[in-house]
Amino acid sequence: MLSELGTLCLAMVVGFSCAQWISAFWGEVTVKPRLQALAANCARMQFVFTTGAFATLITAYGLSDFSLLNVYMNSHTQMPLLYKLAGAWGNHEGSLLLWVWVLSFVAALMTYGKSVDGYALGVQGILITIFTIFLWASSNPFVAIPLPPLEGQSLNPLLQDRGLAIHPPFLYGGYVGYSAVFSLAIAAILRGKIDASLMRLWSLLAWSSLTLGIALGSWWAYYELGWGGYWFWDPVENASLMPWLCGAALIHVIRVVEVKGQLKLWALTLALLTFAFSLLGTFLVRSGLISSVHAFANDPERGLIILSILTVIISISFVLLSLRAYRFAGQLPLEYRSREGLMMLNSLLLISGLVTVTWGTLYPLILEGLTGTTVSVGAPYFNQTFVPLMLPLLILAPLGVELAWSGWNVRECARRLAPSLTITCGFMVLVLYLSHPSSFLMWGGLGLGAWLVATSLHYIWRHRTSNMGMSVAHMGVGIFVLGIAGVSLWGDEVSGTLKRGDNLTLQGQTYHLRDVVQGDGPNYRYERAFLEVGGETLTPEKRLYLPQETLLSETAIATNGIINVYAILGAYQGDERWAFKLLYHPLVPWIWWGWALMSLGAVISLWKNRRRQ
Amino acid sequence: MKPKHKRLAGLGFAGLCLGGAAFLILNAFNDNLVFFFTPSDVKLKGITPAQRIRIGGLVAAGTVTHKGDQVTFQVTDQAHTLHVNYQGMLPDLFREGQGVVAEGYLVNSQQFEAKTVLAKHDETYMPPEVEKALKEKGLWRHAE
């Protein structure tokens, strides 16, 4: 029954979204308010039905209804309820349904506000129709099995995790949130004028969500994959970074459009590009082309269809842009030595960085497609290309903050930045003296982080809550950089084979292995070690998940917000001895606090500007 | 400066930025592309020990030996075999008879020193490059 209900909801969504874009465009072109109101109502109705579809799927998972193929493939009666529900979007079909749901939610949100943009609503409706039909035709989560089995195949244990459970909603909030920006951009192109404030609000919302989504993914990788790494330049990670970089450029450029009315064409280009990268990311992850711990293992046919959809949508939008570009041509040249000039430079550097990441991610795929040679591009490439481009960006950011719109006064800026510069230099000298850093780059990174934090705090001190979002976000970047530099410069590790009663020493602390026990969890069997240090106990585990018989490590992390100690239980060595690894990670929590602050900053800006709509 | 010159200067600078990016890319590329080979490829092509490469295949059954922190195993594509030496913790999903990808340096034509052994994300997963290579040799079998 749930299968029929779900499919029915999907059909209604297609119907209402079609009605939505037909009435939206017709209403806009013929200027009939009743049609425009109809479009808004259709938008809300299709949201009701996507919610219905999604609720149906979640219910099926909650009830362990194995008559649905999707539930059978990805769930198990003994899984904890949270992971049963999260399993709804932990697979290709379910996550695509989540994708469509967010698309639909965005459309519903677009119907509120002082003035509803009919063209934007129409474009959004077209997107919903296309993706719902794609979902229905190629990845229907409601496919039924004639004779329901009694037990499911369970969810990949790597996904049975809190962090990964909420990672997709935030990530898709970002990816799909940019559909609103895309729709507004197309609407602007069709109209010949941009509603920059509205576009900025949506950009901030989408970017904020995407930032959190990426942060959650990185945090999950850190504690779950067992190596203490937080970013691997994995193609799937890059797939989320690319729209993020583009979106970061967009939120700055759209502000220039809002304040100065300049850089309109660039803003529209970025708006279209960001959504293009979102779609590209969706394609990459689901295409089965990527070898990764994280990719959905899928058939290339689906990937090809998404690629075709992507190509069509992007081509049409850029053709439209070029046809109407003349309407957005700037009258006045940009004043380079000003805030808007630096914002332009900001977007240039971000896009250059984006180019390096895109190339590094796509090159192996292209090469393999053309010549059949398998090649991989790892961290060293990205460190040599992306990082040098980000350095001038971060150094100049506080300058951009201090500069006025339309022109600058060198002496004034220098005066305002001097205290922070002094503090930063003092800090760097202190580090040099106390710690003898082994890497020039990372020492520079500490300085850079300190520079961003100091300038942001100084700005808040002087300007209180004005432009608070900007200060918080920039401070977040600084804290993030400090985190990376800290763990790189001062990180340490120790490995050893221990039997009960043995000790390991790391950074002056002694870790005592009290005991190793075995036991049963809800759907796994575990082997748990008890490492005592100071007053605390770390309990790293190895788990054997049923029914897949998959072995997984659960690391144990002790943190005080500034330093993490990370314990991994390794393989049994025989003779009542186990392998252990302990990692000492100073400042690593700041990596995710930094991301969180960036997201918060965007939300603050969003909140303070919402009254305008 | 005249507006036209300003615009030109601006575009020139933008070109410089992108050119800088391109330069960095080309620079980094030479050293950082890691090619993938099967044990047969290693035997047939002369690969210098200095290159960082990836090898992949199936973990030959009965060849995994632990020696303290080090572990040795053999990787095979049913035609040829490479001995691999690795220092560190193996990923949980590493198993005999399953696909594996290791990145590191060739010590000689028989011996490989792995710096990283790649984890798979579930026990039925076969890294695409390994799958492709096995399929090409007609040695592909569906795992149970």
What ipTM did this prediction achieve?
Answer: 0.77
Q: A550–B123: do the CB atoms touch at under 8 Å?
A: yes
How close, in Å, is residue A104 to chain B by CA atoms? 31
> Which stretches of chain B score pLDDT less than 50?
121-125, 142-144
Question: Does residue B66 sit at the A interface (CB-CB below 8 Å)?
Answer: yes
Report whether A120 contacts A176 (CB < 8 A). Answer: no
Nearest CA in chain A to B8: A333
Strands B81-87 and B111-117: parallel
**How many CA atoms within 13 Å lie on the side-chain side of A235?**
26
Q: What percent of chain A has pLDDT above 90?
A: 56
Nearest to B24 among A356, A549, A573 (CB): A356
Q: A381–B32: do the CB atoms touch at under 8 Å?
A: yes
Q: What is the distance between the alpha carbons of residues A455 and A474, in angstroms, rounded to a whole number?
A: 9
Q: What is the distance between the alpha carbons of residues A159 and A135, in angstroms, rounded to a whole number?
A: 22
How close, in Å, is residue B29 to chain A by CA atoms? 7
Q: A348–B17: do the CB atoms touch at under 8 Å?
A: yes
DSSP state of B137: T
Q: What is the distance between the alpha carbons of residues B31 and B23, in angstroms, rounded to a whole number?
A: 14
Residues 6+ apart with CB under 8 A from A260: A340, A405, A406
- More confident site: A32 or A600: A600
DSSP chain B: --HHHHHHHHHHHHHHHHHHHHHHHHHHHHHHEEEEE-HHHHHHS---TTSEEEEEEEEPTT--EEETTEEEEEEE-SS-EEEEEEESPPPTT--TTSEEEEEEEESSSSEEEEEEEPPPSSTT---HHHHHHHHHTT------
Nearest CA in chain B to A582: B89
Task: Give the tokens for residue B68.
Answer: 């303290």
Task: Give the tokens for residue B4.
Answer: 């036209």
Q: B10–A158: do the CB atoms touch at under 8 Å?
A: no
Question: Does residue A297 sit at the B interface (CB-CB below 8 Å)?
Answer: yes
Q: B32–A380: do the CB atoms touch at under 8 Å?
A: yes
Report whether B76 contacts B60 (CB < 8 A). Answer: yes
The reported pLDDT for the residue numbered B10 is: 82
A393-421 per-position pLDDT tens digit: 999 999 988 888 877 787 888 888 999 99
Q: A384–B24: do the CB atoms touch at under 8 Å?
A: yes
Question: Does residue B27 sit at the A interface (CB-CB below 8 Å)?
Answer: yes
Q: A376–B34: do the CB atoms touch at under 8 Å?
A: yes
Q: What is the mean pLDDT of residues A98-123?
A: 91
- For residue A258, what are the CA distances in angstroms to A432, A503, A609? 44, 62, 12
Judge whether residue A74 has pLDDT over 70.
Answer: yes
The reported pLDDT for the residue numbered B142 is: 47
Question: Does residue B116 sit at the A interface (CB-CB below 8 Å)?
Answer: no
User: Poorest-confidence range of A114-118, A271-275, B108-112, B131-135?
Assistant: B131-135
How high does pLDDT run on average in chain A?
Answer: 89
The neighbouring-strand residues paired with A579 are: A497
Question: Does residue B11 sit at the A interface (CB-CB below 8 Å)?
Answer: no
Nearest to A355 among B21, B120, B122 (CB): B21
> Chain A to chain B, count of Cβ pairs less than 8 Å apart?
123
A332-373 per-position pLDDT tens digit: 777 888 888 899 999 999 999 999 999 999 998 888 878 877
Burial class of A255 by CB neighbour count within 10 A (0 to 12, 13 to 18, 19+): buried
Q: A553–B28: do the CB atoms touch at under 8 Å?
A: no
How close, in Å, is residue B123 to chain A by CA atoms? 7
| Structural element, H or E, at residue A605 | helix A589-609
- State the Cα angle at A109 between A107 and A115, rounded to 5°: 100
- CB-CB neighbors (< 8 A) of B17 in chain A: 348-349, 352
Strands B33-37 and A375-377: antiparallel
How close, in Å, is residue B22 to chain A by CA atoms? 8
Nearest CA in chain A to B121: A293
Question: Does residue B21 sit at the A interface (CB-CB below 8 Å)?
Answer: yes
- More confident site: A87 or A252: A252
How close, in Å, is residue B60 to chain A by CA atoms? 19
How close, in Å, is residue A378 to chain B by CA atoms? 7
Q: What is the mean pLDDT of residues A557-580?
A: 87
Q: Which of A245, A362, A385 has the highest number of chain B CBs within 10 A, making it the mutation to test binding with B? A: A385
Torsion angles phi and psi, residue A251, rounded to 5: -65, -25
Q: What is the mean pLDDT of residues A119-136?
A: 94
Q: What's the pLDDT band for A159 if we cut at 50, 70, 90? A: confident
Report whether A452 contacts A570 (CB < 8 A). Answer: no
A186-209 per-position pLDDT tens digit: 999 999 989 999 999 999 999 999
- More confident site: B103 or A295: B103
Q: A375–B7: do the CB atoms touch at under 8 Å?
A: no
Q: Which of A225, A351, A374 has the highest number of chain B CBs within 10 A, making it the mutation to test binding with B? A: A374
Q: What is the distance between the alpha carbons of residues B42 and B30, in angstroms, rounded to a whole number?
A: 21
The reported pLDDT for the residue numbered A235 is: 87
The reported pLDDT for the residue numbered A429 is: 94
Coil, strand or helix at A1: coil
- CB-CB neighbors (< 8 A) of A581 in chain B: 89
Report whether A578 contacts A571 (CB < 8 A). Answer: yes
Q: B34–A375: do the CB atoms touch at under 8 Å?
A: yes
Q: A349–B17: do the CB atoms touch at under 8 Å?
A: yes
Judge whether residue A559 has pLDDT over 60.
Answer: yes
- CB-CB neighbors (< 8 A) of A225 in chain B: 119
The reported pLDDT for the residue numbered A289 is: 63
Q: A381–B29: do the CB atoms touch at under 8 Å?
A: yes
Q: Is the peptide bond before A547 cis (omega within 30 degrees of 0)?
A: yes
| Nearest by Cα to A174 from A251, A232, A120 | A251
Q: A385–B101: do the CB atoms touch at under 8 Å?
A: no
Q: Which of B11, B25, B54, B94 has the highest number of chain A CBs within 10 A, making it the mutation to test binding with A? A: B25
- For residue A459, what are the CA distances in angstroms to A251, A401, A419, A467, A505? 20, 9, 11, 9, 43
A446-494 per-position pLDDT tens digit: 999 999 999 999 999 998 888 899 999 999 999 999 999 999 999 999 9
- For residue B30, what are the CA distances in angstroms to A233, B26, B45? 18, 7, 19
Torsion angles phi and psi, residue A497, rounded to 5: -110, 125
Question: Does residue A112 sit at the B interface (CB-CB below 8 Å)?
Answer: no
Judge whether residue A271 has pLDDT over 60.
Answer: yes
Nearest to B121 among A156, A355, A388 (CB): A156
Report whether A571 contacts B89 (CB < 8 A). Answer: yes
The reported pLDDT for the residue numbered A43 is: 94
Whole-model pTM: value is 0.91
- CB-CB neighbors (< 8 A) of A288 in chain B: 128
